[in-house]
Structure 1
Amino acid sequence: MLEKVFKLKQNNTTLRTEIMAGLTTFMTMAYILIVNPSILGASGMDAGAVLTATAVASFLGTACMALFANYPFALAPGMGLNAYFAYTVVIQNGYTWQTALAAVFVEGLIFILLSLVNVREAIFNAIPKNLKSATSVGIGLFIAFIGLQNAGIIVGNDSTLVALGNVKTVGVALALIGTLITIALVVRKVRGALLWGILITWLLGIVCQLTGIYVVNPDAGVFSLIPEKIFSLPPSIGPVFFKMDFHGIHILDFAIVVFSFLFVDLFDTLGTLIGVSEKAGYLDKDGKLPRIKGALMADAVGTTAGAVLGTSTVTTFVESASGVTDGGRTGLTSIVTGLLFLVALVFTPVITVIPSFATAPALIVVGLFMLENVTKIEFADYTEGFPAFMTILMMIVAYSISTGLVFGVLSYVLLKLLSGRVKELNPVIVIIGILFFIKLLVG
């Protein structure tokens, strides 16, 4: 049955590989179960209920990806979008979280419509091949940068914005050791190398805690690596379930909020699909992604369902690249990841003690793997090379996939115009460029 549904042999993969890849993807993105309730809780939402909503929405969105498109991509409430939901829409602009959920719900419905009429597919196909390769590279470096930050290897700094963290701290040291171990496992062609890297790094941390090298200090953000218990009952979803509120909404203001959600989600998702698909070898010779309609529909349905359940916009996660790197090639990888989100509701005490320094090595190594696509970019042609360069650079320094695409597409369109190569522009990419320019002006 699994062969019939997911076509494992056709995709040159096995049941064991898919399961290991699904585990790896889950381990690298399980942090969302902790972070999302914390962020949305700032808006007044019940954090426990949001935890359950996050897990269920992640399962539904990821299962849709598996069944609609048979791709190993995982979905969950997106970082950045949840912060915009809580800190901008609710806290700064004064809307209730129930109204913000209504905006996310409307966004999801619009995405379903756009996916049905192939608008999102047309945008994906219009992005030039060099920019698609650059997006893959940019996302890889972006993922690596997130890993470095999560481990404390790179920290914030007032004078230089970022700086090297204290390598003498146990967490940083273990992250660096774990990265070397993970690379060694990859070189030795160990199946599930990224997952084993996470588990070995966590185990080393537990050893350090038991021997007194790693000293627990919650006030300093240093938490125990040993779970106090194995099981727990999941919190009730009742306080946030089906709580969208459409009353007393000013239509124009509401439309702006919906558009902001739409814009960031659309191009974050497209960027992620491009980057991870490029790494997995899914894109055809024209740079198109087969079955993209199903992939985009999964994202749209996940967002709509997520709003009903009580969480912010659900989107495709860049951490899916970790599972792809570990050999995941079909929707079975996604099914494993999605089911683990449900299982995590019972094993929350265990999942929540896995430290960020243990998952960081996997993210850093994925960045290395995705960097391989840089060789596909035609840097010798500056009208192609400079937009690719801007895409990669802005994703990292602006800490945003969508911002990288904005600067990449804008520079691509403008350089083609200024260099007299207008015929190389297709109408869709020009329209996208105009919309990006307007978005930069209005903020």
Structure 2
Amino acid sequence: MDKQQSQVDLANDMTLREALRHKDVVRNELIAGVTGFFAISYIIIVNPLILKDAGIPTDLSVFATIFSSVIGCLVMAFWANAPIILTPGMGVNAFFTYTIVVNMGLSWREALGIAAVASFVYMLIAFTKVSTILSEAIPESLKSGITAGIGLFLVEIGLEKAGLIVAGKTSSLVVLGDLTKPTPMLALFGLILSLVLYIRKVKGNFFIAIIATSLVAFFFGIKDADTPSVDLARLGQYHEIVFKNDFSHWLSTPFILAAFSMTMILVFESMGLLQGLLPNQKKFKKTFEGSAVTTFLSGFLGTSPTVAAAESASGIETGGRTGIMALVAAVLFALSLVFVPLLAYVPSAAIAPVIIITGALMMAAIGNIKMADFSEWFPAFLIIVLIPFTNSISTGLAFGFVCYPIMKVALGKAKEMTWPVYLLGVLFLLDLVFSALL
């Protein structure tokens, strides 16, 4: 084991204060924090654009996105001491906008009310023994499936950002992008550079690759079409979306069904992400609690709920093991209030290679699944393929967790499973039914 890897492993069990005393650990965490931030920085502009369709002003929800991310990362740093970046989640923001507001016809204020109720239930689960019972009840094959599924999801995201795959116009879901265009060519350059630096174990490999690829993009004039912007003059109007949660119809059927589905998304997507991301599972309880608190606060800040960003994996792979990584990300999110336009010089093609490689590394968890036992492999397989194919972590989890007890019962192994496994299967089945009704 090389010196750098031993330092990373040592940092796993360090407190935040102990980590700050080790220069080598701090250096690794700084690089990890910067890498993780750049990997998820697109959320600053993408989340407001999605919430715009719900009726929340884009120039105000930018502030909500940044503030909730800063708070979430600070909670991860000082409460959980975990290398996790919390931001408004992709997927849950789509559920918030297109299911609750657009399809169900509720207002964005009612959607914020639903988010607050779901987040409160999430907190009740997180701060009780229920969270431990549920997390320990998840079979190892499904845990590995979750990690691999999130990894494949990241690969899909990375390939899309790189322009290496695009939506098919005929019968194919996706097709190969135009490799003669600047973005795919730049991404391939970044991918090769990232791979070389990674296998050569160069310190700060991903960060170096992002900077080098961004410099190439700058010299050749390659920029993303959507340039993020923040008008600080609008900060004075931010109060227009703060504490605007509407609970007036909290006993109505649509409100209750939407709250149940969002609770399932928040609890089990967060649980699945943390099970798949955390290098040190001893930090799961604190991280889960911190995630729940931030999720609850985010609704009152005027944005859809926060979750652990899957892109945290890029920072973790770079060496992030403590809350210093999250602290660095918090600082960068805060600075983005002023320096967001600079993110335009870090194109998606520079970030995509890091996301692709990180996803590929997470997919190695497939090796932990008992392939010879089809009752273990198939439910995990459903999770792995349905997370990216449906663009929903919670949907992938639902099919896997419903399938698992069915297959075990069919094999006559019903008594070998614990009651939480059946409970999870039933809850996810109800979630699928309610989601269809919504």
TM-score by length of structure 2 reads: 0.90
Matches of 2:142 and 2:23 in 1, distance apart? 28
Q: Deviations over 1:88-115 (max 9, x none)?
A: 2122222111111111112221111111
The one of 100, 106, 127 aligned to 1:116: 127
Quote the Cα distance in structure 1 between the aligned partners of 2:55 and 2:254: 21
Q: Match for 2:140 among 102, 105, 129?
A: 129
1:115-173 per-position Cα deviation (integer Å, ceiling 9, x unaligned): 12222332111111121112111111110111101221111113111111111110011
Question: 2 CA distance for matches of 1:10 and 1:384?
Answer: 44
Among candidates 36, 48, 56, match of residue 25 of structure 1: 36
The CA deviation at 1:186 is: 0.6
Q: Residues of 2 paired with 1:352 and 1:247: CA distance?
A: 41
Q: What's the counterpart of residue 197 of structure 1? A: 209
Partner SS, residue 72 of structure 1? coil
Partner of 1:286: none
Instruction: Kindly indicate whether the alpha-carbon contact (under 8 Å) linking 1:6 and 1:332 is maintained by their aligned counterparts in 2.
Output: no
CA distance in 2, matches of 1:273, 1:35: 23
The CA distance in 2 between the partners of 1:264 and 1:192, in whole Å, is 34
Partner Cα separation in structure 1 for residue 233 and residue 116 of structure 2: 24
Deviations 1:168-203 (A, max 9, x none): 110011111111110111112122211222221111
Query: 2:292 maps to what in 1?
Result: 300
Is residue 249–residue 255 contact of structure 2 (8 Å, CA) maintained in 1?
no
2:202 counterpart letter in structure 1: V
User: In the aligned structure 2, how far is the partner of 1:54 from the partner of 1:378?
Assistant: 41
Equivalence for 1:74: 85
Taking a change above 3 Å as real, the CA distance of residues 364 and 403 of structure 1, as seen in their structure-2 partners, is same
Match of 2:232 in 1: 233
Unaligned segments of structure 2, at least 5 residues: 1-10
Q: Please name the residue that 2:113 is paired with.
A: 102
Given residue 241 of structure 2, which amino acid in structure 1 is its aligned partner?
Answer: V
Q: Which residue of 1 aligns with 2:6?
A: none
Residue 185 of structure 2 corresponds to residue 173 of structure 1: yes
Which residue of structure 1 aligns with residue 71 of structure 2?
A: 60
Deviations 1:392-437 (A, max 9, x none): 1222222222222222222221111111122321110111112222
Q: Which sits farther off after the overlay, 381-390 or 307-316?
A: 381-390
**Aligned-residue offset at 1:12:** 11
Q: Which residue is equivalent to 2:408?
A: 416
Alignment partner of 1:328 out of 320, 330, 340:
320
Q: Distance in 2 between matches of 1:147 and 1:180?
A: 14
Partners in 1 of 2:250 and 2:136 — Cα distance? 36
Q: Confirm or deny that 1:291 pairs with 2:279.
A: no
Of 301, 308, 312, which aligns to 1:316?
308
SS in 1 for 2:310: coil
Q: Secondary structure at the match of 1:370?
A: helix
User: How far apart, CA to CA, are the structure 2 residues paired with 1:86 and 1:131?
Assistant: 29
Question: Which of 420, 423, 428 in structure 2 is aligned with 1:436?
Answer: 428
Say whether the 8 Å CA contact 1:6–1:331 is kept in structure 2.
Answer: no
What are the equivalent positions in structure 2 for 1:122-161 lying under 5 Å apart?
A: 122-157=133-168, 158-161=170-173
| Structure 2 equivalent of residue 371 of structure 1 | 363
Aligned twin of 1:86: 97
Indicate the structure with greater helix content.
Answer: 2
Q: Which moved more, 1:168-177 or 1:406-415?
A: 406-415
Letter matched to residue 339 of structure 1: V
Task: Give the AA of the match of 1:115.
Answer: A
Q: How far apart are the structure 1 equivalents of 2:266 and 2:193?
A: 35
User: Which of structure 1's runs of 4+ aligned residues deviate more than 4 A?
Assistant: 9-13
* Secondary structure of the structure 1 residue equivalent to 2:239: coil
From 38, 59, 62, the counterpart of 1:51: 62
- Deviation of 1:381 after TM superposition, in Å, equals 1.6
Equivalent in the alignment of 1:285: none
User: Secondary structure in 2 aligned to 1:202?
Assistant: helix
CA shift in 2, pair 1:173/1:103, >3 Å: same
Distance 1:108 1:60 in 2: 16
Distance 2:375 2:317 in 1: 31
Structure 1 unaligned blocks of 5 or more? 283-288
Deviation, structure 1 residue 8:
2.6
The DSSP-based 3-state class of the residue aligned with 1:14 is helix
Q: Distance in 2 between matches of 1:4 and 1:386?
A: 39
Give the SS at the match of 1:345: helix
Query: Which residue is equivalent to 2:5?
Result: none
Is contact 1:101–1:311 with CA below 8 Å preserved after alignment?
A: yes
Percentage of pairs with the same residue:
35
1:206 to 183, 203, 218: 218
Alignment of 1:263-302 (within 5 A): 263-277=264-278, 280=279, 282=280, 289-302=281-294
How much does 1:17 deviate?
0.3
The reply to whether residue 349 of structure 1 matches residue 338 of structure 2 is no
Shift of 1:440: 2.5
